[in-house]
Structure 1
Amino acid sequence: MVVSVGGEEVVRVTADAQGRADAQLTSPHASVGQHTVTVAVGDASAEAIFTVVADPDTNPTIPAEPPSEDELTDDNRGGVTGPDTAVEGSTIELVVSGAEPGSRVGPHHHHAGRWRG
């Protein structure tokens, strides 16, 4: 049995006495995106498509300046929700998705009238 990815042979395996063959596919250099894997035995073959996804950033960076209200998107809100409006000097409640109420989520410093992370 020959296993190819994108037309390049990646592993060749011989079947056991019962006709079974196992192959482990590893490719440390597989690029992010879709790839076609082909398994061939003699003149017979079969194809499948698999997708390599990027690893999530394990050390995301906190920006030096928070985004402005106009720059906020669902992707950069960080799961923080709060009221759309508030009266100056009033107490508001912010909720961080996945955090218990009252828990400290990260370092915060008050600077020049705004909170910074």
Structure 2
Amino acid sequence: MENEVKKVFIFDDNQEILDLCTLILEEAGYSVKTSTTSNDIIAQVISFMPNLILMDNWLPDLGGIEATKAIKTHKLLNHIPVVYFSANSEISNLATQAGADNYLSKPFDIQDLEEIVKKEINSDTI
């Protein structure tokens, strides 16, 4: 069980950010899935059942706050840590509003991304 590959689901409307995060996290040993939309957010998350979700603020359709709230109020998913990440200067307020577990400001340092992912995934003990 200890060697189980941890899964990270990244929601961001910017494909370059998704590619960069995927590269960094796969290099660090995580399995990564990405989506540029929050359409059917619950179905998307259930299909992958990640250990962690990285949620951008600016997402087409639902938006990061509503998408995070949907995850955090769903009985099968509410245990999954959500890290809110955005270039918005109000990110801590947005993360709180969304009910996220943590946040990461963009642009971010690669080391900061790796550290926050590791910290939140390790807190995901069910």
TM-score (norm 1): 0.23
Larger Rg: 1
Q: Larger % of helix: which?
A: 2
Greater relative contact order (CA < 8 Å, ≥ 6 in sequence): 2
Give the TM-score taking structure 2 as reference length.
0.22
